[in-house]
Amino acid sequence: MKFICVGKNYSEHIKEMGSVKPTEPVIFIKPDSSLIQKNDPFIIPSFSSIIHYEIEILVLISRLGRHIKEEFSSKYYNKITVGIDFTARDYQNELKEKGLPWEKSKAFDGSALVGQWKDKNTFDDLDKLEFHLLKNGQKVQQSNISEMLWSIDELISHSSKFFTLKIGDILFTGTPSGVGPVKKNDLLEGYLNNERLFSIKVK
């Protein structure tokens, strides 16, 4: 499986990064080796001193597809959760300045946390999902899926023009504002519609 990740999908986050709104979705891939195994902690890698958390809404692909038309996108995923796209921000900035790909700062081993999946039919309104992240009990990020620049359906359609979507692939839909650093012993907890779907320690 692979992770299909979206960058710059919330206006306030684009502002805080001093970036500009892209004309089409920014997409990158993480390999399956970036998945944090169940109950494992997040381990700060040796090549970075500024690791940022990024809480995001995640979508589980349930059907093989390519060149998916937007009106059919909803048939290609069945579950939703929240997770973290851990980012080596110092290294990412260095790579960006040199005009190089982000991969090493974004797709390293243990950079993808996936929360507990919820069947999408359990939500009354998929266009109004609230989500937030607590760091050591303090709310550091909060947003609503309605704030996304590109919707899940648009992202599935767009990314499937370039990458075949396979059963078990996971779409990371981008982070809202409030990203920040983690340090050893931090506790991160992610909520979707006020239900806690992950909890992870930093080591």
Nearer to Zn ion, 85 or 189 (CB): 85
**What torsion do the CA atoms of 29, 155, 54, 56 make, to the nearest 10 degrees?**
-120
Nearer to Zn ion, 18 or 137 (CB): 18
Closest CB to Zn ion: residue number = 85
Distances (CA, A) of 28 to 71, 85, 163: 23, 12, 10
Q: Which part of the chain contacts Zn ion (CB under 5 A), choosing from 49-57, 64-72, 90-98, 112-120?
A: 49-57
54 touches Zn ion by CB under 5 A? yes
105 touches Zn ion by CB under 5 A? no
34 touches Zn ion by CB under 5 A? no
Taking the complex as a whole, the smallest distance from the CB of residue 72 to Zn ion amounts, in Å, to 26
Nearer to Zn ion, 50 or 63 (CB): 50
Q: Which of 84, 107, 93, 20 is nearest to 50 (CA)?
A: 93
CB atoms within 10 A of CB 86: 28
Taking the complex as a whole, the smallest distance from the CB of residue 173 to Zn ion amounts, in Å, to 9
175 touches Zn ion by CB under 5 A? yes
Among 4, 13, 42, 85, binds Zn ion (CB under 5 A): 85
Going through the chain in order, the beta strands assigned E by DSSP cover 3-7, 26-30, 51-53, 55-61, 77-85, 87-88, 112-114, 118-119, 130-135, 138-144, 170-172, 180-181, 187-192, 195-201
51 touches Zn ion by CB under 5 A? no
Point out which residues pair with 6 in neighbouring strands. Answer: 27
Site size toward Zn ion (CB under 5 A) is 3
Taking the complex as a whole, the smallest distance from the CB of residue 55 to Zn ion amounts, in Å, to 9
Taking the complex as a whole, the smallest distance from the CB of residue 29 to Zn ion amounts, in Å, to 12
CA distance 160 to 17: 27
Task: Name the site residues for Zn ion (rule: CB under 5 A).
Answer: 54, 85, 175
